[in-house]
Amino acid sequence: MELLRLIFKNLTRHKLRSALTVLGIAVAISAFGLIRTVIGAWYSGIEASAPNRLIARNAVSLGFSLPLSYKESIRSVPGVSEVTYAHWFGGIYIDEKHSQFPQFAVGAGDWFDLFPEFLIPLDQKSAFLRERNAAVVGVKLAERFGWKIGDAIRMRGMIFQGEWDFVIRGIYRGAQKSTDETQFVFHWEYLDERLRETEPWRAGHVGWFVVKIADPSQAGAIAQEIDQRFKNSIAETLTETEKAFVLGFISMSDAILVALRIISMVVIGVILLVLSNTMAMTARERLSEYAVLKTLGFEARHLIGLITGESLLIGLLGGIVGIGATFPAARLFEDAMGEAMGAIFPAFEVAFTTQVACGLMAIGVGLAAAAFPAWRAVHIRIVEGLRRVG
């Protein structure tokens, strides 16, 4: 207890220095928290993927499509309960800057059966199904553009030529936090109808099939069976779980993720240096005091406790302030990145694990920064310490 009082007294001796150190650590910790949040947002698609969904796509690459006729063949594979399909549309709304949101031409009839986490009111769903050029949009996307039900939208096709008109008939919400609420889905038939006239060789194709399976533990065997059916055909398939499919997309930005991880390490280094500096300075100034304490009968463990305690306390204070500051920093970052980022990061939340990581890091840095000063204090000879001035 006495030790604790000494620690507090020491902490408040150089109020400005302690406050600055806490502030410095807090800022760096919130930078660390922000980076972790960005990395986490990257992986949010994985959380949103369901274990009972497989994605079958063209084995060559995502740039190639599959004939719609595969649908029945896939459905007949044992263990498959439902199949739907989607095609990447890639249209431009207003201009390139505003178009960074996913747009899919989907098998409208059963799309929402396979994605039960997209919550859409029944009346809106049936309105969507009735109209060929109807579209359903995520609530975040609708908010971003101020869309309401009944609004007419015109998009310019980049992959599929021409002007495309849609009417918004439904707005869905996500069942979970991780559900992507920025999608724009419409009838695949609407797309195909026009293709049959303009580019008949591209008609009748879909980008990928979404396959619902009854038993997730059978995913590997079912995926193999599907791929086997189309082996040595003009369009071989590659079937994998939704999670693996999403991971494939994420690994495209591997380099950026690695860079971010390195930066987060550097941030830890900066914090460590700042706190080490403060502790080294403090310990040097107090060497003669430590000698006095030793003369009074304080043992090594007391000195270690005294120094480590102070360092830990500063680290923790910085950690707490830093974690608190991560939330507004994340909001600020979201705003700074603007609308385009809404598409890349459907969910941008400071996760609990991030807060824990920040806290652990603060403690770790607090301990590490105390190591050298404590060692010095313990090893200094009393006479030497007393002789020192300043």
Partner 1 sequence: MAFIPFGYSFRNLWIRRVTTLLTAGGIALVIFVFAAVLMLAYGLEKTLVGTGSDENAIVVRRGAESEFMSMIDRPSANIIKSQPEIAPDREGKPLAAAEVVVLINLPKRGSRKPSHVQIRGVSSESLAIRPQIKLKEGRLLKPGLSEAVVGAAVAKRFQGIGLGETIRFGMRDWTVVGLFEAEGSGFESEIWIDSEQLVQAFRRPVFSSVTLRLASPADFDSLKKRLESDPRMTVEVKQEKRYYSDQSEMMATFIRVLGVFVTVIFSVGAMIGAMITMYASVAARTMEIGTLRALGFSRRSILLAFLIESLFLSLLGGGPGLILASFLQTVTVSTTNFATFSELAFRFALSPAIVLESIFFALAMGLLGGFLPATRAARQNIVEAFRAA
Q: Is 336 in the site for partner 1 (CB under 8 A)?
A: yes
Min dist. Cβ of residue 221 to partner 1 (A): 21
Q: How far is the CB of 15 from partner 1 (least distance, A)?
A: 11
Query: How many residues in the shown chain lie near partner 1 by CB under 8 A?
Result: 61
Closer CB to partner 1, 108 or 267, in the complex: 267
Name the token pair of 155. 């998009």
CB atoms within 10 A of CB 373: 26
Q: Kindly state the smallest distance separating residue 114's Cβ from partner 1, in Å.
A: 25
Q: Judged by CB under 8 A, does residue 292 bind partner 1?
A: no
Shortest gap between Cβ of 56 and partner 1 (angstroms)? 14
Contact string (CB under 8 A) for partner 1, positions 150-189, x = contact: ------xxxx-x----------------------------
Report the residue from 1, 63, 150, 197 that binds partner 1 according to the rule CB under 8 A.
63
Q: Pick the piece of the chain touching partner 1 (CB under 8 A) from 28-36, 46-54, 132-140, 203-211.
A: 28-36
Map the chain to HEC letters: CHHHHHHHHHHCCCHHHHHHHHHHHHHHHHHHHHHHHHHHHHCHHHHHCCCCEEEEEECCCCCCCEECCHHHHHHCCCCEEEEEEEEECCEECCCHHHHCCCEEEECHHHHHHHCCCEECCHHHHHHHHHCCCEEEEEHHHHHHHCCCCCCEEEEEECCCCCEEEEEEEEEEEECCCCCCCCCEEEEHHHHHHHHHHHCHHHCCEECEEEEEECCHHHHHHHHHHHHHHCCCCCCCEEEEEHHHHHHHHHHCCHHHHHHHHHHHHHHHHHHHHHHHHHHHHHHHHCHHHHHHHHHCCCCHHHHHHHHHHHHHHHHHHHHHHHHHHHHHHHHHHHHHHCHHHHHHCCCCCCCHHHHHHHHHHHHHHHHHHHHHHHHHHHHCCHHHHHHCCC
Q: How far is the CB of 127 from partner 1 (least distance, A)?
A: 30
Q: Residue 88 or 145: which CB sits closer to partner 1? A: 88
Given the complex with partner 1, which of 118 and 290 has the nearer CB atom?
Answer: 290
Report, in Å, the least distance between residue 260 CB and partner 1. 8
Please report the sign of the dihedral spanned by the C-alpha atoms of residue 361, residue 366, residue 369, residue 375. Answer: negative
Asked if 51 interacts with partner 1 (CB under 8 A), we say: no
Task: Kindly identify the residues of this chain, within the stretch 226-255, that bind partner 1 according to CB under 8 A.
Answer: 232, 234, 238, 248, 251-255
Calculate helix-pair angle for 15-42, 254-285, nearest 10 degrees.
Answer: 170
Closer Cβ to partner 1, 62 or 386, answer by number = 62
The Cα-based distances of 243 to 44, 59, 82, 340 in angstroms read 11, 17, 18, 24
Tell me the two tokens of residue 122. Answer: 């029944």
* Cβ distance to partner 1 smaller for residue 52 or 58: 58
Q: What is the torsional sign of CA 102, 108, 114, 118?
A: positive
Q: Which is nearer to partner 1, 134 or 275 (CB)?
A: 275
Q: Is 64 in the site for partner 1 (CB under 8 A)?
A: yes
Among 51, 78, 121, 269, binds partner 1 (CB under 8 A): 269
Q: Which is nearer to partner 1, 29 or 108 (CB)?
A: 29
Exactly one of 277, 343, 378, 382 binds partner 1 (CB under 8 A); that residue is 277
69: contact with partner 1 by CB under 8 A: no
The 10 Å Cβ neighbour count of residue 251 is: 10
User: According to CB under 8 A, which one of 276, 308, 311, 354 is a site residue for partner 1?
Assistant: 276
Residue 28 within binding range of partner 1, rule CB under 8 A:
yes
Q: According to the binding rule CB under 8 A, does residue 31 interact with partner 1?
A: yes
- Candidates 113, 123, 165, 199; binder of partner 1 (CB under 8 A) is 199
Residue numbers at the binding site for partner 1 (CB under 8 A): 16-17, 20-21, 23-25, 27-28, 30-32, 34-35, 38, 59-64, 90, 92, 96, 156-159, 161, 199, 201, 232, 234, 238, 248, 251-256, 259-260, 263, 266-267, 269-271, 273-274, 276-278, 280-281, 329, 333, 336-337, 390
